[in-house]
Structure 1
């Protein structure tokens, strides 16, 4: 009599550091996630965790922050890669304590959860990558991998050659740390204002603005045009699109993840840009790059004036993880 077939052994758990899982879920940055752990605000399977080196299996373990559970990761979850032309006035976060509109409000349904890769501050614009690929996100944003970010910047006043050279060599900012060497080029100037091209390999908070202020110039506009091999191209303000398979591979190759990219299943094909440019208040001058949007909801501006918005008030939209702003910074 033949012996019954033996059951195949269970697959070993896929363990990752807890703070990395929290960051990939859009809770906070890795550093901020470590602080949440030390503050005893994170539980795994009901138990408070305070060890920073703790590893978890996000596909099986129940993880919560401030008693609000994170959705468990689907091991078969499709990797998404989206390029967005961020306009001014949107914050680069998954949720905002002050109720401001975020870059995720521009996307609508993209077929899964995605999170910003790096940041552009509220008044900056241009190329922003969003993804649910944690390994790629980490490498693109870590200065160790020296991924170039390119910007076009309009300044008040025209920097002298000495100022340009100082910007290229590095500026000691208020934190006492000198910026790394950068490529800085004067493109053109007119009426007391200049356009510069910056290429940097680090991403400190408001870095370019602070560098220019250190040499006596205010920043009027800051537009990111490139992240490594990925370019903004002709994507209009507020529009987004899926990256092509070639673009996804090029990003992985730029940070030494070619093998991972090769082993990935085919990504969604690149699609024509979607999502019209963001709303603007009635009576304000139209931007030459902005397309008009249909309006359906009346909202109130900071000065009390009424304006129309296509999106409903944030209070009527579901908050992430089933709660309202569950993870204060």
Structure 2
């Protein structure tokens, strides 16, 4: 017997957090009866439907996408814009992105049908390095760079980078290349930190996620993660989540 939300997450329909919301909203039935209690447990013999669609158990799969700019980190978009799952037309499993990258941000984005894995990586206490390379219009001062490491209060959120390093400066063009490493992943965090310092972000790319890099990939490319890579990510997340 397993908790209903876990069964839904493992089926690849959505994350466990979203599954809990669907249960509470009365959109899940077990053997034809609506269930709204999160503690409900089901067996493999029970017939579970989510929004009228029967669950089909899927084998977990894990992908890394080099997301281009101008793509939505979602499985669909009501405005008809390109979404990240459009890059996987031959994948039959119902994969979804782990977290998100902004529309104008490129780089590593992970996708899976494993809701538990997604929740683990997005846990607020995990400390997986996420490395961003920022091209700025305007050159941040040393004090500004230091303030991002100390932390900034922006619109009620405390935003802090683990490491910030100026990689290069072009004083003639008034631009800089900055490396920013985060552990957390609050909405538009990198852009908001630079905006708070009155420094314009020209380009933003996530180049590393844990031990994963974009080496050998072009924008729009994807590949399946190896079992070892999945195991490494689990280890990095679990060792910091109590």
TM-score grouping bracket, smaller chain normalisation: 0.7 to 0.9
Which residue in the other structure is 1:84 paired with?
A: 65
When the two structures are aligned, how many residues end up with a matched partner? 237
Deviation at 1:149, TM superposition (A): 0.7
Which residue in the other structure is 1:121 paired with?
A: 102
1:155 aligns with 2:139: no
Q: Choose the corresponding residue for 2:83, options 102, 115, 131.
A: 102
Deviation at 1:120, TM superposition (A): 0.8
Which residue in the other structure is 2:35 paired with?
A: 49
User: Residues 47 and 173 from structure 1, CA distance in 2 versus in 1: closer, same or farther, beyond 3 angstroms?
Assistant: farther
Deviation at 1:70, TM superposition (A): 4.7
More strand by share: 2
Alpha-carbon contact 1:60-1:72 (below 8 Å) kept: no
Alpha-carbon contact 1:36-1:42 (below 8 Å) kept: yes
Which residue in the other structure is 1:184 paired with?
A: 164
2:143 match: secondary structure: helix
Which residue in the other structure is 2:211 paired with?
A: 229
Which residue in the other structure is 1:218 paired with?
A: 200
Of the structure 1 ranges 194-203 and 33-42, higher mean CA displacement relative to structure 2 is found in: 33-42
TM-score (norm 2): 0.86
1:71 aligns with 2:55: yes
Greater relative contact order structure (CA < 8 Å, 6+ sep): 2
The C-alpha deviation readout for 1:108-167, integer Å capped at 9, x for no partner, is 213633221221111111111112233322211112121111111112211111111111
Provide the aligned C-alpha RMSD in A: 2.5
Deviation at 1:104, TM superposition (A): 0.7
The C-alpha deviation readout for 1:173-226, integer Å capped at 9, x for no partner, is 21x231244211111122112211111111111111111111112222110111
Which residue in the other structure is 1:16 paired with?
A: 3
2:157 match: secondary structure: coil
1:25 aligns with 2:12: yes
- Structure 2 runs not aligned, ≥5 long: none
